């Protein structure tokens, strides 16, 4: 019985492109029909900051894989563009060429201290872990894994749901019958409960964005699923099972 924990780091940019950059990002409001104009502006601004961080600090892809007896238990790739990004003046918003386009331009920079204090990235490494049993046990006791099951909606109807949670805490949800889903942002967490707020990335017209999802563990392979609207009213519930 063999466990492996593999972390591989790919440096896509190894030199800083300068301390100051100008970035322009366009977001179309039609892609976020459940959000207000101000919320879409916030999304555009965050995307501009991310683009600036990638140019100032460089972009790193980190691949983390956990294997057991030749089977991949967890596989996640994350982008990292470390460090602080500061903005000179106020962001400039304007309309784009297409209907619904929101354009934001920022002048972003990082100080010498910001560059020096950039989080360090570990070097490429592959190794066998002696205490792998303990690590796998912690993963199974946590909410890591692929959860699936059926939920019943308060207003009638049902849907099969799939939730994937990586060991790094990144989570996604898919309402299969409704053909909608997106990211789950962690809001609260205890050893037996985790509360997410969902951020839809598709199917806005079929599901409610920004709803809250709560998972409460019954045991290591079974959790209660409850969904609440933004007013904290229960709108759906069911039971999900973790696939081994």
Q: Is the pLDDT of residue 69 over 80?
A: no
- Strands, sheet with 3-11, edge to edge from the N-terminal-most edge strand: 71-80, 60-68, 3-11, 125-127
What is the per-residue pLDDT across 145-192, written as a single tens digit (0 to 9) for each? 889 999 998 888 888 999 998 877 788 999 988 889 999 998 888 888
Residue 42 included in any domain: yes
Which one-letter DSSP state was computed for residue 192?
T
| 207: CATH | 2.40.128
Over residues 193-209, the pLDDT tens digits come to: 999 999 988 888 888 88
> 59 falls in which pLDDT band (50, 70, 90)?
low
Task: Look at residue 118 in the predicted model and tell me its pLDDT.
Answer: 67
* Of the residues 66, 98, 127, the one at which a domain ends: 127
Residues 64 and 167 in one domain: no
What pLDDT sits at residue 1?
43
pLDDT, tens digit, for every residue of 73-105? Answer: 444 444 455 567 788 889 999 998 888 899 999
Helix (H, G, I), strand (E, B) or coil at 43: helix
pLDDT at 9 over 90: no
106/121: higher pLDDT: 106
- Which among 5-9, 35-39, 166-170 has the top mean pLDDT? 35-39
Domain count for the chain: 2
43-to-1, 9, 35, 48 alpha-carbon distances in Å: 46, 28, 10, 9
Question: Which residues are paired to 219 by β-bridges?
Answer: 222
**What confidence tier does 12 reach under pLDDT thresholds 50, 70, 90?**
very low
- Mean pLDDT value across the chain: 76
The CA–CA distances, whole Å, from 2 to 71, 75, 127, 130, 211 equal 10, 17, 11, 10, 41
User: Where is pLDDT greater, at 166 or 215?
Assistant: 215
Closest CA to 43 of 232, 210, 168: 210
Q: Are residues 108 and 11 in the same domain?
A: yes
Q: With 90 as the cut, is the pLDDT of residue 214 above it?
A: yes
| Best CA proximity match to 126, nearest among 66, 70, 75 | 66
Put simply, whether the predicted model's pTM sits higher than 0.75 gets the answer: no
Please give the Cα distance from 6 to 91 (Å, whole number). 41
Residues 18 and 91 both lie in one domain: yes
Same structural domain, 20 and 106? yes
Q: By residue range, what is the domain housing residue 64?
A: 3-127
If one compares 204 and 222, the residue with the highest pLDDT of the two is 222
Q: Is the pLDDT of residue 212 over 90?
A: yes
> What letter does residue 100 receive in the DSSP assignment?
T
């Amino acid at each position: 019985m063999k466990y492996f924990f593999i972390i591989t780091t790919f440096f896509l940019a190894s030199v800083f492109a300068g301390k100051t950059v100008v970035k322009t990002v366009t977001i179309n409001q039609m892609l976020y029909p459940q959000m207000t104009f101000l919320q879409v502006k916030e999304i555009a601004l965050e995307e501009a900051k991310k683009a600036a961080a990638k140019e100032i600090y460089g972009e790193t892809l980190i691949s983390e894989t956990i294997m057991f007896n030749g089977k991949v238990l967890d596989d996640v790739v994350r982008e990292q563009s470390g460090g602080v990004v500061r903005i000179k003046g106020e962001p400039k918003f304007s309309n784009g060429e297409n209907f619904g386009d929101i354009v934001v331009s920022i002048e972003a920079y990082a100080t010498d201290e910001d560059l020096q204090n950039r989080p360090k990235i570990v070097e490429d490494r592959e190794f066998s872990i002696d205490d792998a049993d303990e690590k796998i046990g912690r993963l199974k006791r946590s909410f890591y894994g692929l959860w699936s099951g059926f939920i019943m909606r308060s207003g009638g109807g049902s849907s099969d749901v799939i939730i994937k949670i990586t060991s790094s805490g990144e989570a996604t949800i898919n309402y299969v019958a409704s053909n909608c889903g997106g990211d789950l942002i962690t809001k609260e967490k205890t050893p037996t409960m985790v509360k997410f707020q969902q951020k839809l990335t598709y199917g806005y017209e079929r599901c409610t964005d920004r709803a809250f999802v709560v998972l409460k563990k019954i045991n290591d392979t079974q959790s209660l699923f409850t969904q609440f609207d933004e007013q904290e009213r229960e709108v759906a519930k069911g039971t999900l099972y973790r696939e081994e």
